A and B are shown apart, each in its own frame.
Chain A
Amino acid sequence: MRHFRWPLIGLLLGALSACGEEPASDSVRETGLAPDTIVSGYAFLTPETQSEQDDDFLNPANLWVDEGGKLFLSETGVSAACASCHGEGDMRLDGAATRYPTIDHASGELVNLEGRINLCRTRHQQADPLEYESEPLLSLTTYVASLSRGQAISTALSTDEQVFYEVGKTYFNTRRGQFNLSCRECHDLNWGKQLRGDTISQGHSNGFPAYRLEWQTLGSLHRRFRDCDAGIRAEPRTYGSADYLALELYLRVRAQGLPMETPAIRR
Chain B
Amino acid sequence: MAAIRISAMKTAKAGEIIELKALIRHKMETGFRRGSRGEAIPRDIITHFVCLYNGEAVFEADFFPSVAANPFLIFYTRATESGTLEFRWTDQHGTVSSQTANISVES
Q: Residues of A contacting B28 with CB < 8 Å?
A: 216
- Determine the distance from Cα of A57 to Cα of B69 in the docked complex, in whole angstroms: 16
Q: Is A60 on the interface with B (CB-CB < 8 A)?
A: yes
Contact in complex: B21, A57 (CB < 8 Å) = yes
Secondary structure of the B side of the interface? loop
Contact in complex: B23, A57 (CB < 8 Å) = yes
Q: Residues of A contacting B69 with CB < 8 Å?
A: 216-217
Task: Tell me the nearest residue of chain B to A58, going by C-beta.
Answer: B72
Contact in complex: B5, A63 (CB < 8 Å) = yes
Q: Is B43 on the interface with A (CB-CB < 8 A)?
A: no
Task: Tell me the nearest residue of chain B to A215, going by C-beta.
Answer: B69
- Determine the distance from Cα of A58 to Cα of B21 in the docked complex, in whole angstroms: 9
Q: Is A131 on the interface with B (CB-CB < 8 A)?
A: no
For the A-B complex, the count of residue pairs with Cβ-Cβ distances under 8 Å equals 28
Q: Is A62 on the interface with B (CB-CB < 8 A)?
A: yes
Min distance, Cβ A184 to any Cβ of chain B, angstroms: 29
- Determine the distance from Cα of A62 to Cα of B72 in the docked complex, in whole angstroms: 13
Q: Residues of A contacting B25 with CB < 8 Å?
A: 60, 63
Q: Residues of B contacting A217 with CB < 8 Å?
A: 27, 69-70
Q: Is B68 on the interface with A (CB-CB < 8 A)?
A: yes
Known: A57-B5, A57-B7, A57-B23. A63 touches B70 (CB 8 A): yes
Min distance, Cβ A214 to any Cβ of chain B, angstroms: 11
Q: Residues of A contacting B96 with CB < 8 Å?
A: none
B8-67 residues at the A interface, CB under 8 angstroms: 21, 23, 25, 27-28
Q: Which of B3, B7, B21 contacts A66 (CB 8 A)?
A: B3
Q: Is A133 on the interface with B (CB-CB < 8 A)?
A: no
A3-61 residues at the B interface, CB under 8 angstroms: 57-58, 60
